[in-house]
């Protein structure tokens, strides 16, 4: 006869088996959908480009070398790939600026919604998510209509007599920034709202009671307490921003490229898949490092709370 | 007939001193149109410097609203609030020398105990050394020295209460507002904190405005009590005044146990009246301030201010129930006119007067026991 201990052991084993069984679908999906393609990209980055795109199965580090360096076609000497570095820098700069800008616009927006009466909050949230219903391309073209030389802004300014030449906004870094802020704002507002909704507004009153001005209350009480939302929102905006493709191609006009456009170029006209693959992994590395630095610095000693 | 108001029921002789807070004709209305609620309906009250003043009333009577108006979190719909003679309406809450101990404590979860206590001083721009010294002093005052570095989530409810107190006292406010600070504590801790609060008020000399719905707490702790109901202050006075000389039925009913008897007023002189009870007995009763006699009146008598006797007495009835409480015994009596009356007698060993159900008894009403209600 089985002893109690044995029965318990069997039950435990069964539970472990069940646990694996139940999580198997998730594991398979993660393996196939996330790790699989990533491994293929990594593999491709170490192969030789084929003449019409694709790769030939021959090991080469040329893809990685040309991420940062340029080989002179005449004498084979290496020099810094200035164009790539410019694009890296622009991507990073625009992504950071877009994140900061969405935070600046998103914070008061989320605060506004979180302080509305409970009944009306849902309506505000609903309004925030409406842009999601429209295709990204269409939304980006909408921004284009607003800021182009014959667009609403320039026409209005000229008609008002404030300027007599249209301001060139389209096809600049500024245009890309505006487009990204517009498109990614909800990604910032929603997590910010989620953590502000949980904020105990009695703590805000306690702050005022203890002689904190509005600015001090924001800085010393509200901000530390909604920090998880700030972090989540920043990550949600930064990642798609640094990898943005549609926005820079429509609003940057092909001359102000970002990472994604550069990568697309390698897989398309450039016919250099290993370089494209290496660039993709570089972006990933940059994003990961940036996030690590960011989270390290923002979850300081004061942020550790429920 | 001139009614002399000098019976002390409402106008307690003032302990000489300034008024810390004066609330003048304050109304507070929430909502608009049909959904309008008057949380405070024309409240006027003066709170003296250094006094332990209590707002007592059932939930929803407007106590928190009044505190919030004084603290500056809300603004009166009408009327004004003066702090040491100056209208505080233009001051935002962070400029009022008034601090609050919140019902929920509202401690900052992302700060340590010491950081919480020092927050007010820091916001006032005090130098670091002064803040540290004052925080240390406060920690000592509330006996929390050992837990200074803890997070507020890592301490017990009673300790959180102390931190909330220390945090509000640290900037040395002119007035401290306490919104039911003890209601979340268990009985024993509550008793301890009641004593602690009295000690703190005594040691700091700060004016306390204390809110509670617990009549016992109000009676034991306060210098003066304002009894509130439905947005109005019904009576202000010392605990003794409130208990012995309730002016309104609500006050008498809310605080302690009371017997109500219908009576007819025969004559009035010197703030007292001769009244005839339904039983035909005539007793003397104190009149409330501002009483407008119309012949009929309700008389209140506290159970311990009457005495049950075997024979005689002012009124009589039959014992319905006897409840033993250890220190005293409650004798519930059905009067001959059908009303009920409770007498509370102190128990003493060997004292022979015990009563049984169904026994006929008389009730002696003491000379100064009866109080006439305003309404
Ligand atoms: N912000 C508010 N909006 C609407 N009604 C309120 C608000 N605050 C308080 N009230 C109402 O005012 C009345 C008094 O409330 P309150 O002052 O909190 O009572 P207490 O503290 O004595 O329990 C209640 O009827 C309450 O519903
Ligand atoms: Mg309340």
What is the residue range of A295's domain? 83-305
B363, B313 contact by CB (below 8 A): yes
Question: B153 and A202 in contact by Cβ < 8 A?
Answer: no
Helix, strand, or coil (residue A267) = helix
Q: Can you give the pTM of this predicted structure? A: 0.80
Mean predicted confidence (pLDDT) in B234-241: 94
Q: Is A6 on the interface with B (CB under 8 A)?
A: no
* Cβ-count burial B110-124 (b if 16+ within 10 Å, e if not): bbbbbbbbbbbbbbb
The alpha-carbon gap from B263 to the nearest alpha carbon of chain A, in Å, equals: 50
What is the DSSP-derived secondary structure letter of residue B346?
A: E
Measured between beta carbons, the chain A residues lying within 8 angstroms of B120 are 210-211
Q: Does residue A271 lie in a domain region?
A: yes
- Measured CA to CA, the distance from residue B135 to residue B155 in angstroms comes to 18
- Measured CA to CA, the distance from residue A288 to residue A285 in angstroms comes to 5
Question: A212 and B106 in contact by Cβ < 8 A?
Answer: no
Report percent pLDDT > 90 for chain A.
55
Among the partner-chain residues A205, A211, A224, the one whose CB lies closest to the CB of B124 is A211
CA–centroid distance, residue B80 to ligand 2 (Å): 21
pLDDT of residue A305: 42
What is the DSSP-derived secondary structure letter of residue B365?
A: E
- Measured CA to CA, the distance from residue A70 to residue A76 in angstroms comes to 9
pLDDT of residue B347: 84
Cα nearest neighbour of B106 on chain A:
A203
Among the partner-chain residues A200, A209, A220, the one whose CB lies closest to the CB of B93 is A209
Which atom from ligand 1 is nearest to the alpha carbon of B65?
17
A176, A256 contact by CB (below 8 A): yes
Q: Does residue A170 lie in a domain region?
A: yes
Among the partner-chain residues B72, B110, B123, the one whose CB lies closest to the CB of A302 is B110
CA dihedral A85, A89, A91, A94 (to 10 degrees): -160
Among B8, B41, B28, CA closest to B229: B41
Query: In the numeric block, which tokens belong to residue A18?
Result: 């069940």
pLDDT digits (tens, 9 = 90+) for A209-221: 999 999 999 999 9
pLDDT of residue B138: 93
Mean predicted confidence (pLDDT) in B67-93: 94
Among the partner-chain residues B94, B100, B108, the one whose CB lies closest to the CB of A221 is B108
**Contacts of range A275-281, beta carbons closer than 8 Å, 24 or more positions apart:** A275/A49, A275/A62, A275/A63, A275/A66, A275/A67, A277/A41, A277/A42, A277/A44, A277/A45, A277/A63, A278/A45, A278/A63, A278/A64, A278/A66, A278/A67, A279/A67, A279/A84, A280/A41, A280/A45, A281/A41, A281/A42, A281/A45
CATH code for the domain of A206: 1.10.3720.10
Element (H, E) at A184: helix A173-197
Question: A205 and B124 in contact by Cβ < 8 A?
Answer: no
Q: Does residue A283 lie in a domain region?
A: yes
CATH 2.40.50.140 domain residues, chain B: 257-372
Helix, strand, or coil (residue A188) = helix
By CB atoms closer than 10 A (0-12, 13-18, 19+), residue A215 is exposed
CA–centroid distance, residue B63 to ligand 2 (Å): 6
Among A22, A63, A36, CA closest to A280: A63
Q: Residue A303 above 70 pLDDT? A: no
- Closest ligand to residue B179's CA: 2
Q: Residue B280 above 60 pLDDT? A: yes
Mean predicted confidence (pLDDT) in B111-121: 96
Q: Does residue A165 lie in a domain region?
A: yes
| Test site for ligand 1: of B29, B30, B33, most ligand atoms within 8 A of the Cβ | B30
Q: Does residue A39 lie in a domain region?
A: no
Mean predicted confidence (pLDDT) in A240-265: 89
Question: A200 and B100 in contact by Cβ < 8 A?
Answer: no
CATH 3.40.50.300 domain residues, chain B: 2-97+173-244
CA–centroid distance, residue B65 to ligand 1 (Å): 6
Q: Which of B125-134, B256-265, B303-312, B322-331 has the highest mean pLDDT?
A: B125-134
Which residue has the least CA distance to atom 10 on ligand 1?
B39
CA–centroid distance, residue B65 to ligand 2 (Å): 7
Q: Is A122 on the interface with B (CB under 8 A)?
A: no
Q: Which of B64, B65, B119 is the best substitution to test chain A (most A C-beta atoms within 10 A)?
A: B119
Among A273, A234, A215, CA closest to A63: A273
Mean predicted confidence (pLDDT) in B1-22: 53
Check whether domain B257-372 has CATH 2.40.50.140, yes or no? yes
Which residue has the least CA distance to atom 16 on ligand 1?
B62
pLDDT of residue A111: 94
- Measured CA to CA, the distance from residue B159 to residue B192 in angstroms comes to 12
pLDDT of residue B256: 87
Longest Cα–Cα distance of chain A, Å, equals 98
Question: B123 and A209 in contact by Cβ < 8 A?
Answer: no
Q: Residue B14 above 50 pLDDT? A: no
The sign one gets for the Cα dihedral A102, A105, A111, A113 is negative
Element (H, E) at B132: helix B128-141
CA–centroid distance, residue B199 to ligand 2 (Å): 24
How big is the A-B interface in CB pairs under 8 Å? Answer: 69
pLDDT digits (tens, 9 = 90+) for A192-213: 999 999 999 899 999 999 999 9
Q: Does residue A75 lie in a domain region?
A: no
Among the partner-chain residues B71, B95, B110, the one whose CB lies closest to the CB of A225 is B110
Which residue has the least CA distance to atom 26 on ligand 1?
B60
pLDDT band at A306 (very low <50, low <70, confident <90, very high): very low
Across chain B, mean pLDDT equals 89
- Tell me how many helices (H) and strands (E) chain B has: 8, 20
- Measured CA to CA, the distance from residue A47 to residue A44 in angstroms comes to 5
Q: Is A306 on the interface with B (CB under 8 A)?
A: yes
Mean predicted confidence (pLDDT) in A257-276: 91
Across chain A, mean pLDDT equals 89
pLDDT digits (tens, 9 = 90+) for B314-364: 888 999 999 988 888 999 999 988 889 999 988 877 655 678 888 999 999
The alpha-carbon gap from B109 to the nearest alpha carbon of chain A, in Å, equals: 7
Cα nearest neighbour of B154 on chain A:
A305
CA–centroid distance, residue B132 to ligand 2 (Å): 33
Cα nearest neighbour of A217 on chain B:
B123
What is the DSSP-derived secondary structure letter of residue B3?
A: P
Number of domains, chain A: 1
Ligand 1 pocket residues where CB is under 6 Å: B 30-31, 37, 39, 57, 59-65
pLDDT digits (tens, 9 = 90+) for A76-107: 778 888 888 899 999 999 999 999 999 999 99
- Distance of alpha carbon B181 from the chain centroid: 14
* Cβ-count burial B228-266 (b if 16+ within 10 Å, e if not): bbebbbbbbbbbebbbbbbbbbbbbebbbebbbbebebe
Establish how many alpha carbons lie within 13 A of residue B276's alpha carbon, considering only the half-sphere containing its beta carbon: 7
Q: Does residue A5 lie in a domain region?
A: no
CA–centroid distance, residue A10 to ligand 1 (Å): 59
Q: Residue A25 above 50 pLDDT? A: yes
Question: B106 and A205 in contact by Cβ < 8 A?
Answer: yes
By CB atoms closer than 10 A (0-12, 13-18, 19+), residue B47 is buried
Which atom from ligand 1 is nearest to the alpha carbon of B179?
21
Question: B110 and A304 in contact by Cβ < 8 A?
Answer: yes
Which A residues, 203 through 232, put their C-beta within 8 Å of a C-beta on chain B?
203, 205-213, 216, 220-221, 224-225
pLDDT digits (tens, 9 = 90+) for B174-192: 999 999 999 888 888 899 8
- Measured CA to CA, the distance from residue A210 to residue B171 in angstroms comes to 8
Element (H, E) at B144: none
Instruction: Report the topology of domain B2-97+173-244.
Output: Rossmann fold (3.40.50)
Q: What ipTM was assigned to the predicted interfaces of this complex?
A: 0.82
- Measured CA to CA, the distance from residue A126 to residue A120 in angstroms comes to 10
Sheet-wide strand order for B306-309:
B306-309, B360-365, B315-324, B328-335, B340-346
| Test site for ligand 1: of B36, B37, B218, most ligand atoms within 8 A of the Cβ | B37
Query: In the numeric block, which tokens belong to residue A300?
Result: 């300081």
Q: Does residue A31 lie in a domain region?
A: no
Q: Residue B159 above 50 pLDDT? A: yes
């Amino acid at each position: 006869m089985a002893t109690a201990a044995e029965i318990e052991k069997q039950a435990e084993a069964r539970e472990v088996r069940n646990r694996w069984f139940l999580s198997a679908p998730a594991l398979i999906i993660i393996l196939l959908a996330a790790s699989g393609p990533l491994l293929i990209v990594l593999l491709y980055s170490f192969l030789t480009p084929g003449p019409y795109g694709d790769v030939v199965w021959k090991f080469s580090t040329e893809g990685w070398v040309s991420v940062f360096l340029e080989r002179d076609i005449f004498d084979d000497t290496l020099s810094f790939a200035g164009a790539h570095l410019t694009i890296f820098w622009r991507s990073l700069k625009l992504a950071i600026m877009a994140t900061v800008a969405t935070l600046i616009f998103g914070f008061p927006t989320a605060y506004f919604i979180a302080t509305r009466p409970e009944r009306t909050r849902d309506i505000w949230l609903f309004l925030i998510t409406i842009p999601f219903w429209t295709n990204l391309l269409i939304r980006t073209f909408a921004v284009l209509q607003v800021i182009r030389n014959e667009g609403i802004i320039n026409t209005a300014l000229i008609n008002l007599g404030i300027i007599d030449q249209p301001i060139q906004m389209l096809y600049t870094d500024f245009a890309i920034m505006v487009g990204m802020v517009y498109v990614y704002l909800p990604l910032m507002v929603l997590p910010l709202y989620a953590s502000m909704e949980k904020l105990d507004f009695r703590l805000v009153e306690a702050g005022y009671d203890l002689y904190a001005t509005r600015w001090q209350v924001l800085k010393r009480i509200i901000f530390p307490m909604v920090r998880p939302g700030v972090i989540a929102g920043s990550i949600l905006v930064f990642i798609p921003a640094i990898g943005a493709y549609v926005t820079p191609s429509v609003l940057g006009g092909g001359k102000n490229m970002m990472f994604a456009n550069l990568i697309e170029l390698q897989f398309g006209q450039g016919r250099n898949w290993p370089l494209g693959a290496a660039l993709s992994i570089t972006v990933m590395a940059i994003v990961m490092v940036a996030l690590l630095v960011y989270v390290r610095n923002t979850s300081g000693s004061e942020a550790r709370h429920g | 007939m001139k009614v002399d108001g000098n019976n002390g029921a409402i106008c307690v002789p003032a302990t000489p001193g300034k008024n810390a807070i004066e609330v003048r004709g304050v109304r507070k209305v929430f909502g608009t149109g049909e959904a309008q609620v008057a949380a405070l309906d024309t409240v006027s009250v003066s709170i003296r410097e250094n006094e332990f003043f209590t707002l007592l009333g059932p939930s929803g009577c407007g106590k928190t609203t009044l505190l919030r108006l004084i603290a500056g979190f809300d603004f009166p719909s009408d009327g004004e609030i003066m702090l040491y003679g100056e209208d505080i309406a233009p001051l935002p809450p962070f400029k009022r020398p008034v601090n609050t101990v919140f019902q929920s404590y509202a401690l900052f979860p992302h700060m340590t105990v010491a950081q919480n206590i020092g927050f007010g001083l820091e916001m006032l721009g005090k130098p670091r050394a002064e803040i540290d010294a004052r925080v240390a002093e406060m920690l000592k005052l509330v006996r929390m020295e050992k837990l200074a570095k803890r997070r507020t989530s890592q301490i017990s409810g009673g300790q959180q209460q102390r931190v909330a107190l220390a945090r509000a006292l640290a900037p040395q406010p002119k007035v401290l507002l306490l919104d039911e600070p003890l209601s979340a504590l268990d009985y024993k801790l509550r008793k301890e904190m009641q004593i602690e609060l009295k000690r703190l008020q005594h040691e700091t000399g700060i004016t306390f405005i204390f809110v509670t719905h617990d009549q016992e707490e109000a009676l034991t702790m306060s210098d003066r009590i304002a009894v509130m109901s439905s947005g109005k202050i019904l009576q202000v006075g010392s605990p003794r005044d409130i208990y012995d000389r309730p002016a309104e039925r609500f006050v008498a009913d809310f605080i302690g146990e009371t017997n109500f008897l219908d009576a007819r007023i025969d004559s009035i002189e010197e703030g007292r009246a001769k009244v005839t009870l339904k039983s035909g007995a005539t007793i003397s009763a104190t009149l409330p301030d501002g009483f407008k006699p119309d012949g009929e009146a309700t008389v209140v008598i506290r159970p311990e201010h009457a005495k049950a006797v075997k024979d005689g007495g002012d009124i009589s009835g039959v014992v319905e129930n006897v409840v033993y409480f250890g220190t005293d015994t409650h004798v519930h009596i059905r009067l001959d006119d059908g009303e009920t009356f409770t007498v509370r007698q102190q128990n003493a060993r060997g004292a022979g007067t015990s009563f049984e159900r169904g026994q006929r008894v008389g009730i002696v009403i003491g000379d100064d026991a009866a109080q006439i209600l305003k309404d």
